[in-house]
Amino acid sequence: MVWRETGIMDERLRFVGECLAGEETMTALCAAYGISRKTGYKWLERYRALGPAGLIDLPRAPLEHGRATAAELVARIVAEKEANPQWGPKKVLARLKRAAPQLCWPAVSTIGEILKRHGLVGRRRHRWRAAGCGPFAPANGPNAVWSADYKGWFRTRDGRRCEPLTVMDTASRFLLALEACATPAEAEAWPVFERLFAEHGLPERFRSDNGSPFAAIGVIGLTTLAVRFIKLGIGLERIQPGKPQQNGRHERFHLTMLPLAMAPEADHAGQQAVFDAFRQNYNAERPHEGLAMDVPADHYRTSLRRLPDRLPEPDYPAEAAARRVRSNGEIKWNGDLVYVAAALAGEVVAIEESEAGIWTLRFHAHPLGIIDRKTKRLVRPSALQPRPAGAGADTGLKGGEL
């Protein structure tokens, strides 16, 4: 039964008044007003507790939604987002599940709504995605390929220039180094790589752009840093000019670290401390979509190829003609001087002749170019592929003096 439509509050007040007067039984009053005894007792109890305000209808919606996220979980979701402002709902959820897998965390969409209610969702930016690996073979595991680059320079608050050197394992996305360098020079770069090689071992290949200190102008494009890599048996991969997508994962990472350059520290020491903390977070705490929301540290392992005590000398086959590069970067071949590269001064290169009579020059397993028979100059062939160490020539080659 329900209350009569005419003056519901008046009806309830009269009903309660007659109940309190005690002249009629509850059964008789409820029958007279057309309501059940349960309803009659309910309104009498509300009046006694709250007075006339207790006779107002309460909202029918539950005070707390049966599927609402617990306040404790909401607090932890908000705290995780505030600690990592650049993360979206997917990364927040992955991090929370990793930290407390025993809890029943809400879906990504629910976390997105929670962050929106707390004003923690900004304007969505266009997402830059890495596109493949360009002309290179894919990295099939940790240390198959390391990549390196310099993030655009900025100045710390003391006015000094900072050139962040970033080194990353391509397969696992493990950030090997984030160094606050003063210049992109070998004098600063080699100690970083020497430390990484000692700590993590050697990669099979190394990918970079064509800038200093990784590459130089000229036919072979070698720097002394690149020469050291070749002597360690590391294959060189150079992206084509104007095609950063060929090192797409590394370029995408630079967008992630962009906020660090937007808020520089007081000096290089302070900047390096921030870089170190960022690297720790990136490797061990920040979930990565490309790794199924694992962190890079879950997938990285040190290399089995260890850094030798001394840089090895080349092991050319007996049929190859060996030449030591002079201090001016030239070698003597067939009575002529052929310029190779100043970066190879003092090193021994090999000349091998094919069945077609082509003179190919290489350093360790790295191809350098072809000696043009007419111009007596080293030229770059249309396609050069690194050869396995110790591979011999197609035919024998009689050499002159070293």
pLDDT digits (tens, 9 = 90+) for 155-168: 999 999 999 999 99
Place of tokens 């404790």: 72
Which amino acid appears at position 395 of this protein? Answer: T
pLDDT of residue 273: 96
Helical pair 37-50 and 8-21, crossing angle rounded to 10 deg: 90
CA–CA gap between residue 179 and residue 185 (Å, rounded): 13
Q: Is 381 exposed, middle or buried (0-12, 13-18, 19+ CB in 10 A)?
A: exposed
Q: 0.85 exceeded by the pTM?
A: no
* pLDDT for 47: 83
The amino acid that residue 190 corresponds to is W
Orientation angle between helical segments 89-99 and 108-117, nearest 10 degrees: 110
Predicted confidence at residue 58, as pLDDT, reads 67
CATH T-level fold of 145-298: Nucleotidyltransferase; domain 5 (3.30.420)
Helix (H) or strand (E) holding 162: strand 161-169
pLDDT of residue 144: 97
pLDDT at position 266 is 95
**Residue 68, pLDDT score:** 65
Q: Is residue 89 exposed (0-12), middle (13-18) or buried (19+ Cβ within 10 Å)? A: buried
Nearest-angstrom CA–CA distance, 109 and 341: 58
112 three-class SS: helix
Q: Which residues of the chain have pLDDT under 70?
A: 1-6, 58-68, 122-134, 381-402
Written as six digits, the tokens of 399 are 């050499």
What pLDDT score does 14 carry? 87
pLDDT at residue number 134: 59
